[in-house]
Amino acid sequence: MLLDAELIVYAAAFAIGLFVGVYAMLNGTVRAGRTPGMVEPPHAAFNAPVVGAAFVAFGAVGYPVAKYSPLGTISTLVIALLAAAAGWVGMGVLMAKWALRGPLSDPHEDLEELQGTIATVTRAITPDVPGEIAYSFRGEPLVAQARCVTGEPVPAGAEVVIEKVENGMADIEPWATVEQRI
């Protein structure tokens, strides 16, 4: 009877680990941060993949040891817990050294995310002289020099759409022009 209960515990731990791993795969590990528009990386030692790996290792080792070895319940539990610790540490190292090693923000993704952002002209734009725009990106108010991609003048106070920003210079298009294409 005790053997059946042990096997159920190890099988359940394995299933929970798989569920947590699939959840992490489908939903990711990065969550919204305290600042609007920002993200916070998960802690390398405590996140869904690490917990899932520990549960999978606990169940995957504990089940066959309990079922096929002559070891007792306590010995089997110790071996399964050591396997869980190894899974936890292994996945933690993998997350720290591989999955979480780089910045969470790719500059190319920033440019793509910025494209299409609505801005307000704060200093008039002429064909010969760049103006200035104000906009918000990931909750942070920003300003940039701006020039119009169509070459037309844009008065202060006009709404524009950002095409791209490079080296502090934004290429914009008047919202009225974009709106006609939609």
Domains of the chain: 2-99 (no CATH), 107-181 (2.40.50.140)
**What pTM does this model have?**
0.52
Strand partners, 140: 137
pLDDT, tens digit, 9 for 90 and up, residues 134-158: 998 877 888 999 999 988 999 999 9
d(CA 178, CA 112): 17
Structure tokens belonging to residue 87: 């899974």
Q: Please enumerate in sequence order all residues whose Cβ is within 8 A of that of 103, keeping only pairs 6 or more positions apart, or say none.
A: none
pLDDT, tens digit, 9 for 90 and up, residues 27-53: 766 665 555 555 566 666 678 888 899
- Cα 14–17–23 angle (5° rounding)? 145
Q: Tokens 């609505």 map to which residue?
A: 118
Q: Please enumerate in sequence order all residues whose Cβ is within 8 A of that of 70, keeping only pairs 6 or more positions apart, or say none.
A: none
Q: Is the separation of the CB atoms in 54 and 91 below 8 Å?
A: yes
pLDDT, tens digit, 9 for 90 and up, residues 94-123: 877 776 555 555 555 666 678 888 999 999
Q: Is the separation of the CB atoms in 160 and 121 below 8 Å?
A: yes
